[in-house]
Amino acid sequence: MSRSPVASARLTSSVPLLAPRPPLFLALIAHLLLLGYALFVFTRGFLLSRIALPDVSSCSNSPVPGSWPSPPSSQSSSAPVGCWSSRPPPYKHALILLVDALRFDFTLYDPSLSEPIPPYRNKLPIMQHLLDTQPRRALRYQFLADPPTTTLQRLKALSTGTLPTFIDAGSNFGGSSILEDSWLTQAALANRSASFVGDDTWLSLFPDVFRLSHPYPSLNVWDLHTVDEGVLAHLPSMMESKEDTILLGHFLGVDHCGHRHGPSHPAMAAKLKQMNTVLTDILASIDNDTIVFIFGDHGMDGKGDHGGDSRSELEAALFIYSGRDLDERGEEFDHLLRDMDQQRSHRSVAQVDLVPTLAMALGLPIPFGSLGSIIPEI
Ligand SMILES: [Zn+2]
């Protein structure tokens, strides 16, 4: 059957409509390429990323060649010589007590405050008591975190002295192990042991470095006590053994209390009072070869949350207690103390400053990627 001329004409005119239109197809390809390029720029540039350096510091590899004494192995004297320092290591042991989310103002004590005061104020009097009664052994600082103020990123910064990135923030609840140089790496290289009890995040970051470890689950923020009770169960015997150069205890109750109730809740008062009792007992048993660092990894906002860069989230507390007087540096230290008294304000140090300070206190090389400064009073 032959088509009518009209039908043939319709068919002929419809053929160009079914064929691909080159300009539209090219526009689609160009759009996809542009999208891919934008995604590449976003992931590589907008979101900060960084390269983890594989380098590891060593005593024999001074950062400033010629300006430091020879490493201990080449010293003729039998006296111990610190790494990168002309003086012996100041301490044999470091006790690190991380009170998660210990905001700076939680550690203040002012009996002249009139009621009503917030539930978190005046509940940790032990720190002010030691600052008043043993000013040459105790120091307190605002301990400033770099955002993001999340525990995993803070632990990386506090152990390696580096700055975390926002890509890291996405992995807060599933941290992979740290391969960069840290004070735990340095202790292991020097055949000095470290043990740990508390928040199990440390084990995901450092799965192989601890002589003893007692990890407790960290993700149930409604649980205010399990991790803290675990620390209290093991820490006394670990301290007594004196086998470790570094002993690490990570309390989590204050942080979880913030998440569950916020800081302005009677439960926070009770938790801080418990911490006060714990710290009082521990600090009473410190010998003169030990230095104690008690600090928060971040603060918390008015609702008890953290992660951002508000002042209340960034301002954690650092309390340092030495088993012996810190005045061995003589006039310089006295001058510094006088200055601090005159200023009547609290000194601030960066959280990354813990890394070189701890390393030098123990006579270890400062981890390779460390960006902080040594706290001069130590
Ligand atoms: Zn938290």
125-171 confidence digits (pLDDT tens) = 999 999 999 988 999 999 999 988 998 889 999 999 998 765 554 44
Is residue 35 a part of any domain in this protein? no
Position 314 scores a pLDDT of 96
What is the CA(312)–ligand 1 centre distance, in A?
13
Q: Which of 38-52, 65-79, 320-334 has the lowest mean pLDDT?
A: 65-79
Task: Output the CA 88–ligand 1 centroid distance in Å.
Answer: 38
225: domain range? 92-362
User: Which residues lie near ion ligand 1 (Cβ < 5 Å)?
Assistant: 255
Around 300, how many Cα atoms within 13 Å sit in the side-chain half-sphere? 24
Domain annotation covers residue 273: yes
Residue 10 belongs to a domain: no
In the reported structure, the alpha carbon of residue 259 is separated from the centroid of ligand 1 by a whole-number distance in angstroms of 6
With respect to residue 24, please indicate whether it lies within any of the assigned structural domains.
no
Q: How far apart are CA 328 and CA 119, in angstroms?
A: 39
Distance from the CA of 151 to the center of ligand 1, in angstroms? 7
Structural tokens at position 26: 């090219």
Is residue 217 included in any domain, yes or no? yes
- Asked if the peptide bond before residue 116 counts as cis, ω within 30 degrees of 0, the response is yes
Q: Say whether pLDDT at 96 is over 60.
A: yes
Q: In CATH, what number is assigned to the domain containing residue 296? A: 3.40.720.10
Task: Give me the sign of the Cα torsion angle 309, 315, 316, 320.
Answer: positive
Mean pLDDT across the chain: 85
Distance of CA 234 from the midpoint of ligand 1 (Å): 23
The pLDDT of 52-63, averaged and rounded, is 83
Q: Contact at 8 Å (CB) between 290 and 320?
A: no
Average pLDDT, stretch 347-362?
Answer: 94
CA 126 to CA 276: how far, in whole Å?
Answer: 6
What digits encode the pLDDT tens for the residues 3-49? 454 444 444 444 455 555 667 888 899 999 999 998 887 766 666 66
Q: List pLDDT tens digits, range 253-263.
A: 999 999 999 99
Determine the distance separating the centroid of ligand 1 and the alpha carbon of 225, expressed in angstroms.
14
**pLDDT beyond 50 at 248:** yes
Q: 23 C-alpha vs ligand 1 centroid, how far in Å?
A: 54
What's the pLDDT tens digit per position in 160-213?
999 876 555 444 444 578 889 999 999 999 999 999 999 999 999 999 999 999
Lowest mean pLDDT segment, chosen from 79-93, 237-251, 281-295? 79-93
> Does residue 55 sit within a domain?
no
In a domain, 197, yes or no: yes
In this predicted structure, the answer to whether residue 367 has a pLDDT above a threshold of 80 is yes
Q: What distance in angstroms lies between residue 3's CA and the mean position of ligand 1's atoms?
A: 78
Q: What is the interface pTM, i.e. ipTM, of the complex?
A: 0.97
| CA 333 to centroid of ligand 1, rounded, Å | 36
Distance 250 CA to ligand 1 centre (A): 13
Query: How far apart are the CA of 374 and the centre of ligand 1, in A?
Result: 28
Give the closest residue to 366 by CA, choosing from 143, 146, 90, 84: 84
Answer yes or no: is pLDDT of 337 > 50.
yes
213-216 and 246-251 strand pairing: unpaired
Q: For residue 149, how far is its CA from the centre of ligand 1 (angstroms)?
A: 9
State the distance from the centre of ligand 1 to the C-alpha of 158, rounded, in angstroms. Answer: 16
| Ligand 1 centroid – CA 353 distance (Å) | 22
Number of domains within the chain: 1
Residue 73 maps to a domain: no
- How many angstroms is it from 326 CA to the middle of ligand 1? 33
